[in-house]
Amino acid sequence: MAFHAYLLRCNDSSFYAGHTDDLEIRVAQHQQGLIGGYTAMRRPMVLVWTENFGTREEALAAERRIKGWSRPRNRP
């Protein structure tokens, strides 16, 4: 079984990182608003990156690395 880390670009140009064992279903759940939280109010979104991993732990580690990236800040 493959596991996937993924990155979505939301309609407000923000990004969401996650991991799953079924990428197609998970992205559809995000698109339909079935997963509460961050993406529920930022639809539609576009899958901009994914990578396959052999274990869930590896996919989760990739997700955590992405979430640790710094974000550019808008300055006046």
d(CA 1, CA 9): 26
Q: Which two tokens stand for residue 53?
A: 């991993």
Give me the mean pLDDT over the 43-61 stretch. 97
Q: Which two tokens stand for residue 56?
A: 């869930």
pLDDT at 60 over 90: yes
pLDDT at 11 over 80: yes
Calculate the average pLDDT of the chain. 92
Strands, E assignment, 1-76: 3-9, 15-20, 46-53
The values of phi and psi at residue 75, to 5°, are: -120, 140
- Bin 35: left if φ > 0, else alpha if -120 < ψ < 50, else beta: beta
The one-character DSSP state at 73 is: -
Contact 39, 20 (CB under 8 A): no
Between 76 and 46, the more confident residue is: 46
